[in-house]
Chains A and B, each alone.
Chain A
Amino acid sequence: MAINVLAVILFAIISQTIHHPTVQLILNILIMASLGLGLFFFFATSVGVLRFPDFFTRLHAAGKGDTLSTILILLACSLFSLKSAKTLDQTTILAAIKILLIINFIFIGSPTATHALIEAGYNSEIDPWENNATRN
């Protein structure tokens, strides 16, 4: 919940000072950074899913990696929509805040889903990997 408050304050500051060149510059850097990190984490997740030996480890990678990278990319999108909006009226801010809501939704939903998958795997007795066994 704290992050949301922070984000809303951040958006309020940005919306006031949007036209100042330096703020434009910072926004650009921020968007590029979050996009880059997001894509990097996506890449890491897919490598993890492919490389990890068994069911649980793969899910560990998929669960965490997915959530973080989606949040980062969505953050970038909301900032970008703020930056590129021609007239900064109420609707564009509303659009950015909606993307924040989506971020919240994924923040809650994605880990729960991963937890459900792992619990189901655990209940159906998939044996975890020991260090010398072959991949399964």
Chain B
Amino acid sequence: MSMINQLPFYVVGIPLFTALIIGVLAIVQPKLVRLTGLVGIISGAYASLTLFLTVQQSGTKYYTFGNWPAPYGIEYSVDTLNALMILLIYAVSLLAYVYSLRSVIIEIPSNKHGYYYTLYFLLITGLIGITITGDAFNLYVLYEICALSSYALLASGGKRATLATFYYLLIGTVGACFYLIGVAYLFIKTGTLNMGQLFEHIPSIYFTSSILVAFIFINVGLFIKMALFPLHGWLPNVYTKAPISTTCLLAPLGTKLSIYILIRFYFHVFGPEYVFQVLNIQPFMVWLATLAIIVGSVYAIFHTNYRSTIAFIIVAEIGYIIGGLWIGHPDSIAASIYHILADSLMTLSLFMIAGTVLFYLKSEKTSAFALTFRQLRITSISLVVVFASIVGIPPTSGFFSKMYLIKGAFAMGHYQFIVALLFSSLASLFIFFRLFEAYFYSKPPEPAPSIIKEDRLFTLPMIGVSTGIILLGVTFNYWFSVISRIIPVGLR
């Protein structure tokens, strides 16, 4: 088989083997760990880029393991949706990895760096494995890998992080278990685990109760893992106490992956007819998303600690995506998929800023941001860019996804969703100006604070993300045309 159609394996294999090599090096030759990591992630990113381009030209690519035909062995089917998500994962993990090179030295004791990076790359393998797989049970196994390695990585941040991660572990396992029960019901009814085959068998059993139960279990399981409104309790607790180098990787991708799985199940397993016509829970779900946005924004305002504010902003952003998805209008679905890209970059940038402020100014209170604007140049620029995107100021990507969400919501008559969107934009505007006013209207401290020269390994990824946010916005047309090919014909 030529190099090109081995790509789906390379994209997963490279981080897996990097992790294993780092595992060996951590014990044998700890100095080489960082270099191998860099080589691994760059080659992986390159592979994902070529995969994305080949999928764009020649449509869906299939890859069977142990070349057993589809339903009997495990099969990868890579269409535009997962090629796009893999590209996103690699972009975010490349930037997070560069950022972590310095932040791990500050946060994690030196004798554990090798082990930390092994788990880091296993987490990346899990994330990519979830996105690329075409087999429901294989997806569960990779979900376990992600979950376990994220528990270990999150808990490595000291006493309080361990306790918070324990709660996350309990709730996360319940979520994964619900997903598995759902897949089990599907298996019993259709006898196969391959998503393609599930898609063919399911229409014949639309109106049986076991399909409904499977749908409910899979949905609730994924809602727990993506921290949608009523089940979001674990997210702020974990992301405020966990080490920055982990949250930089996990926060942008962890919750977005569950949304990707949801989209994959809605469009390519249950089928849009089932989701949008047979079950008429659309108004309920849009109301749930609206509540998620409002509650997320309100809590974000009332928290003064920076990282808990961001955590609640993430909860609100999840409400955007789910709301956009459930509105069902092609514009809003395309906007919600586009918002997955935009929101991951935004969350990554927010946590990098939290990191630099924490490392250099040792505090997260709003007063610390008065000093940030004075002393940390690059951090304040990226703070302005990221909040412009969250609020939705035109050149940034946040504006475009919000615009198309409102457009779709109006077309389908969900006005409460539009009100929630605008409320959350004003809420995030308020949050930003609370930080900016702390700087602009406060007397400069007596010995004029000197400009801190931020470490190059911090500033490089930050600049990368900020330009990414703006670039993603300006090239909205291209992404919109790419994404609108994903939406199945039934909804278009």
Q: Within the complex, are A and B direct neighbours (CB within 8 Å)?
A: no
Which residues of A line the B interface, CB within 8 A?
A: none
